[in-house]
Structure 1
Amino acid sequence: MSDTKNRKAALTPTSEIDDGTRVFFDQAHDIPSAMQSPASPPVSEHDTPLPASSADATTPKSAKPHYHGHRQRLRERFIKGGATALADYELLELMLCMAMPRGDVKPLAKSLIAQFGSFANVLSARPEDLHKAKGLGEAGIAAIKIAEASAQHLSRERAMELPVIASWEQLIDYCRVRIGHLKNEELHLLFLDRKNRLIADECHQRGTVDHTPVYPREVIKRALELHASAIILVHNHPSGDATPSRGDIEMTRKIVDAAKAMEIAVHDHIIISQAGYNSFKTLGLI
């Protein structure tokens, strides 16, 4: 009994919980681990809070590239004033930016016109030549060639709306768009019906007539296949001089004679160049 009393005397109440339960511990021993404050869990680097300056700081939104506003102004000028409201390089720039939405294409547009000599020359340039231009990719080349094809289709349809003889200026415009800027010589045959409306435009030969023979019988054969009543010969001189050569004159006379035998009229032979054009009929050669 005495030992029990001694042990009870060695115990002293240290705290009392709200429900009245007394909690005792042996003063001779350390505080049990269950009674200690729980240890803080290890801090992960992902849980580390950002410094106040970093957490509160906001990253400013990147400003739009300067050319975005420029493109918008170009579009507005073009829509309001048409092609004449823009310089050639601006029209080309507007075309390229639709195919190349990222980046400033103004320097590229100026470079292309300087390299090829004019807006028209850029449109009519061969894809392999355009590939050599620095900064111009497939999308830009496709946009340029689509513009050229669109111009050809438009001029062709306008030329077909009225009799060719009654819309001579439209015919010349069509021929200029079609072959005026080619680097190689081409001979085209325009086949007309009885009302002098355009039936077909076909490339009959590539290369100068001095080096590549033109067979009148092949020309007449094709005219008969298309039921054409008349023909207009058109070819280009890449040199820029639209003066007929001796070979041009001799070839034309042979075709005129062959066509006459089949009651097919040859209205004219037109030579197109970048500088202008010549008409055999106007020159008295037909």
Structure 2
Amino acid sequence: MGKSRQAYGYLGEQPVLLPLRNSEPVREKPHYLGHRDRLRERFAAAGPDALPDYEILELLLFRLIPRADTKPVAKALLARFGTLGEVLGAPVTLLQEVKGIGPAIALDLKVIAAAASRMARSEIKGREILSSWEKVLDYCHTAMAFEAREQFRILFLDKKNALISDEVQQQGTVDHTPVYPREVIKRALELSATAIVLVHNHPTH
């Protein structure tokens, strides 16, 4: 039987025993929930440049992993792949090798990567990009980071050096990709391109 406490009737003449309800354990708020709130507040107040890569990755993981501490997962991803861009560019199979990343989360990260790639493309498309190599390199890195096979990619430009199209001309093996100048020239003529930027990755390096 649970403990009882005494209460007194009218004018305190006789004590009345009232049973205590079974006490329920007080559940503490998980520590990571407070951390999430603080991190969101910092992002809102200071902007993304004030946060390191692992905290930006944490913010992304909050929605994908709603009931766990995402800081260890974010740090593990960066330790495995190096940068935020390389995490998003990593293949689904490699992402799932990191503890805490299952098939659904890995696929969601690839959706985020696709959105980032589209955004990067929109930033350079229709603009004079030859004077903005940093954006071009950032875009290519996002599109090709952790690509398992060699790619030969071409950015086709118009007479104002604005992007007409970005195409993967050839895909090869882990250390080799064929290039056919005739096909490159043919495609440039089809698009009425006046300049091209040739991009080649080295996945084994």
TM-score normalised by L of structure 2: 0.80
Matched residue type, 1:63: E
Residue-by-residue CA offset, 1:27-56 (whole Å, 9 max, x unaligned): xxxxxxxxxxxxxxxxxxxxxxxx9645x3
Match of 1:228 in 2: 193
Match of 1:152 in 2: 117
Match of 2:140 in 1: 175
| Structure 1: distance between partners of 2:111 and 2:178 | 33
**1:153, distance to aligned residue in structure 2 (A):** 1.6
Q: CA separation of 1:158/1:191 partners in 2, compared to 1, >3 Å: closer, same or farther?
A: same
Q: CA separation of 1:211/1:93 partners in 2, compared to 1, >3 Å: closer, same or farther?
A: closer
**1:144, distance to aligned residue in structure 2 (A):** 1.9
Matched residue type, 2:157: L
Match of 2:162 in 1: 197
Matched residue type, 2:199: V
User: Does 1:128 find its partner at 2:93?
Assistant: yes
Work out which of the residue numbers 54, 70, 75 in structure 1 matches 2:35: 70
| Structure 1: distance between partners of 2:156 and 2:81 | 33
Q: CA separation of 1:79/1:210 partners in 2, compared to 1, >3 Å: closer, same or farther?
A: closer
Match of 2:5 in 1: none
Aligned-residue Cα RMSD (Å) equals 2.5
Q: CA separation of 1:135/1:170 partners in 2, compared to 1, >3 Å: closer, same or farther?
A: closer
Match of 1:8 in 2: none
User: Does 1:215 find its partner at 2:180?
Assistant: yes
Q: CA separation of 1:60/1:129 partners in 2, compared to 1, >3 Å: closer, same or farther?
A: same
Q: CA separation of 1:140/1:180 partners in 2, compared to 1, >3 Å: closer, same or farther?
A: closer
Matched residue type, 2:57: L
Asked if the contact 2:126/2:164 (under 8 Å) is kept, the reply is no
User: Does 1:109 find its partner at 2:74?
Assistant: yes
**1:217, distance to aligned residue in structure 2 (A):** 1.7
Q: CA separation of 1:201/1:116 partners in 2, compared to 1, >3 Å: closer, same or farther?
A: same
Residue-by-residue CA offset, 1:256-276 (whole Å, 9 max, x unaligned): xxxxxxxxxxxxxxxxxxxxx
**1:133, distance to aligned residue in structure 2 (A):** 1.9
- Flag the structure with larger Rg: 1
| Structure 1: distance between partners of 2:100 and 2:175 | 39
Matched residue type, 1:113: L
Equivalent pairs counted in the alignment come to 189
Q: CA separation of 1:74/1:52 partners in 2, compared to 1, >3 Å: closer, same or farther?
A: same
Q: CA separation of 1:204/1:152 partners in 2, compared to 1, >3 Å: closer, same or farther?
A: same
Match of 1:265 in 2: none
**1:179, distance to aligned residue in structure 2 (A):** 2.1
| Structure 2: distance between partners of 1:59 and 1:73 | 29
Q: CA separation of 1:109/1:126 partners in 2, compared to 1, >3 Å: closer, same or farther?
A: same
Match of 1:82 in 2: 47
**1:168, distance to aligned residue in structure 2 (A):** 2.9
Work out which of the residue numbers 126, 137, 152 in structure 1 matches 2:102: 137
Relative contact order (C-alpha < 8 Å, sep 6+): which is higher? 2
Asked if the contact 1:95/1:143 (under 8 Å) is kept, the reply is no
Secondary structure of the structure 1 residue equivalent to 2:97: coil
**1:104, distance to aligned residue in structure 2 (A):** 1.3
Q: CA separation of 1:208/1:216 partners in 2, compared to 1, >3 Å: closer, same or farther?
A: farther
TM-score normalised by L of structure 1: 0.59
Residue-by-residue CA offset, 1:62-96 (whole Å, 9 max, x unaligned): 22211110100011111222222222222212211
Match of 2:149 in 1: 184
Q: CA separation of 1:183/1:208 partners in 2, compared to 1, >3 Å: closer, same or farther?
A: closer
Residue-by-residue CA offset, 1:176-235 (whole Å, 9 max, x unaligned): 222254343211011112222111100111237984432222112222222222222111
Secondary structure of the structure 2 residue equivalent to 1:234: strand
Which aligned pairs between 1:81-100 and structure 2 lie closer than 5 A? 81-100=46-65
